[in-house]
Amino acid sequence: MLRKTIYILLFLNLSIVYGQDPQFTQFFAAAGYLNPAFAGATFQNRAALTYRNQWPGVPKAFNSFNAAVDMNFNRINTGLGVNLYNDNAGTGGLKTTNFALQVAHQFKLKRNLYIRPAIQYGVVHKRIDFADLTFGDQLVRNGAATTIEQNTYQPITNFDFGAGFLFYSPTKWVGFSVHHLNKPNESLLGYEAPLPMKFSVHGGYKVYVNEIVRTASASDELNFAFNYKAQGKFDQFDIGFYYYRSPMIFGVWYRGIPGLKAYQPGYQNNDAIALLVGAEFKSFKVGYSYDITISRLVSNTTGSHEISIIYNWAAKDAPPLNQQLRKVPCPKF
């Protein structure tokens, strides 16, 4: 009876909750999700799949899936891409699906320095599985399968626009992207609830460990990278490095902003340490990462798992290998 009473009180004392877009530890593996300017940023065509199971210790917490295909048209310095992500959050089955078409064009600023502006046109669909919700009357009636509550949650679909750009040279890159430029309404109850814009700044630096010929097949590299993103009142900073020695990739990441921002007294903005291992097999790249939670949720979440698979195939108008150094030098994952 005490447990039922607590559930009922929690149900009656609903408050405003805040959430953000799905996140991926291997953010460069989900490049189309990170920034539309990555569309066609290599001299190959690319298909990528990323799956994230965040906090499996919390039943039905967050499961996110991202799929992308992008193609390079070298003769017109243009890349095209499509990106699809789906996110399932919570025991109530809150589902978000976003489909986007991306167009990027490349300009040469000077020798070995390029810029890629891009725009993204998308549609976002949000719904909730009413049958998965549990209401107070069900608890009072000893866990009844049905509720007297009426389903007032209606699926909603809206246009969703974004933009981004990349500056890069053979060893350095920096990018900026903004999503939800039109702040689409995401209320399932017919109210006005604009989705806040999401901003991301990301970049990095590639170091060749060995003095080898810098061709498209060069190995032994260190890639230092970062990604700062902000949405509404929340922000986050990822920083780390990858080590690539063909065919293996290893990485270590930190996520959080210690000491720079606290959302409430006594709460530190620390999230996780992430470890990554990956391998490259001809046209395939496979990566696995595990997030070690370091926040106050450490005893409840059991970390997070993420898997990425990337497949590359040759574009018909790709330039010779010795001319491909001007592709964006971002990490494998």
| 10-residue mean pLDDT series, the chain (333 residues) | 41 47 90 94 90 82 91 90 90 85 93 93 88 68 68 84 94 95 88 92 88 54 92 89 91 83 65 93 92 79 90 76 62 73
Query: Per-residue b/e over 28-56, b at no fewer than 16 CB within 10 Å?
Result: bbbbbbbbbbbbbbbbbbbebebebebbe
What pLDDT is stored for residue 141 in this prediction? 72
Compute the distance between CA of residue 319 and CA of residue 43 in angstroms, rounded to an integer: 7
Q: What is the pLDDT of residue 88?
A: 87
The C-alpha angle with vertex 50 and arms to 49 and 54, in degrees rounded to 5, equals: 160
C-alpha pair distances (Å), 265 with each of 62, 175, 261, 269, 271: 27, 33, 10, 11, 17
Structure tokens at 29: 């593996």
SS3 99: strand
Q: Which two tokens stand for residue 266?
A: 């006594």
**Structure confidence at residue 325 (pLDDT):** 52
pLDDT, position 14: 41
pLDDT of residue 314: 82
Please give the model's pTM, rounded to 2 decimal places.
0.84
- Using CA atoms, how far residue 168 sits from 5, 115, 274, in Å, is 59, 7, 26
